[in-house]
Amino acid sequence: MLSTAPENGFVVFDRVQKSYDGETLVVKDLNLSIGKGEFLTMLGPSGSGKTTCLMMLAGFETATHGEILLDGKPINNIPPHKRGIGMVFQNYALFPHMTVAENLAFPLEVRKLGKSEREAKVKRALEMVQMGDFGGRRPTQLSGGQQQRIALARALVFEPELVLMDEPLGALDKQLREHMQFEITNLAHSLGITTVYVTHDQTEALTMSDRVAVFDDGRIQQLAPPDLLYEKPENSFVAQFIGENNTLEGVIKEINSERAVVQLDGGELIDAMPVNVSKAGERTKVSIRPERVEFNKDRLSPDARTLKAEVMEFIYMGDIFRTRLRVAGRDDFVIKTRNAPDQRRLQAGEMIEIGWLAEDCRALDA
């Protein structure tokens, strides 16, 4: 699935390819349309092509084939400093010899703005990121989180319509990182800025984005809002890469448009939604999220198929219980249940039956 946005998007990649050696394509025939004011995240493992796409959009890399358009205009031959794009990097890229205010004023000086206008814009940008009192300090006098705020303010100070962010929160600790995720998202939406964000952190992508483009091997594997990406992965790569996921392997025994009966490699039969399979006899990987698995029979329909499972490990995690099971010959099957007064705590060695709704289980490509 390559594109679901309108073709007249604010940012458009039209059949874009990139090769560094003339042979191997690191980006393969990319078609992607990003709407004005949209927060789109490019997510994927190292080497999947996501950062190369961002660098081509910024102008630091040149597309080998195809065209990139910004607000309807081709930008392939426009140098980076003339594209009017704000950039935020993981390493902040602040000038250490300049004060915070001077760092923010620099992109305005390059654009030949007058002193009073520069000062007004710097003041506004610092207030946006709640750093109004820090203009006179040097970057070395700031914490990592404060430096990242200043880097964000510098990207916004000349009021660009498009901001690109490359792993901007990678150097921050977990708590600060989560706080900054919400700050960046709220700021981008309140200012109406189009944002293209690159990360390998799936939680960050799901938390912050209007849509997520999942990259692997130079292609977009799925492009969708976060909830659809998690609930309805279109192939086994996306199912495994996004969130925690249980996979069971088997063969399609029966299939129609709404239901597939899968015979697992251990012989058991289960029901699943057919997604990337089309005929009986085909091998499949069945995907089911840990929180969709039930072991309380009263929560399952009477005709639901169940599987026998042995409890291998029960872990208390505060808000949830995480239980590892041996199911259909595999001992890496996980279920998650919320910590509630009526929720039974399982014991290692206990035998239980588990099941799920067929619509929560997806028969994907093998």
**What are 8's two structure tokens?**
């007249």
Q: Is the distance from CB of 241 to CB of 48 less than 8 angstroms?
A: no
- Separation in Å, CA 151 to CA 100, 129, 165, 195: 9, 10, 10, 15
338-354 pLDDT tens trace: 998 888 889 999 999 99
Give the pLDDT band of residue 110 (cuts 50, 70, 90). confident
Number of neighbouring beta carbons within 10 Å of residue 296: 13
281-334 pLDDT tens trace: 999 999 999 999 998 877 777 778 899 999 999 999 999 999 999 999 999 999
- Separation in Å, CA 332 to CA 104, 244, 266, 286, 329: 51, 11, 15, 14, 9
pLDDT for 171: 76
The answer to whether residue 174 scores a pLDDT higher than 60 is yes
| Run of H or E residues at 160 | none
The answer to whether residue 4 scores a pLDDT higher than 50 is no
Average pLDDT over residues 143-154: 88
Reference 353, options 322, 320, 328; nearest CA is: 328
Task: Give the burial string for 28-64 (b: 16+ CB within 10 Å, else e).
Answer: eebebbbbeebbbbbbbeeebbbbbbbbbbbbebebe
41-62 pLDDT tens trace: 999 999 999 999 999 999 999 9
| Domains in the chain: ranges and CATH | 11-236 (3.40.50.300), 244-365 (no CATH)
**What are 5's two structure tokens?**
């946005």
Task: Give the burial string for 164-188 (b: 16+ CB within 10 Å, else e).
Answer: bbbbbbeebeeebbeebbebbbebb
217-246 pLDDT tens trace: 999 999 999 999 999 999 999 999 998 999
14-47 pLDDT tens trace: 999 999 998 899 999 999 999 999 999 999 999 9
pTM: 0.88
Average pLDDT over residues 270-280: 92
Cα–Cα distance for residue pair 83/85, rounded to 1 Å: 6
pLDDT for 66: 95
Give the pLDDT band of residue 7 (cuts 50, 70, 90). low
In the chain, % of residues over pLDDT 70: 98
Average pLDDT over residues 244-253: 94
Q: In a 3-state reduction of DSSP, which class is residue 338?
A: strand
Q: Which residue has the higher pLDDT, 181 or 302?
A: 181
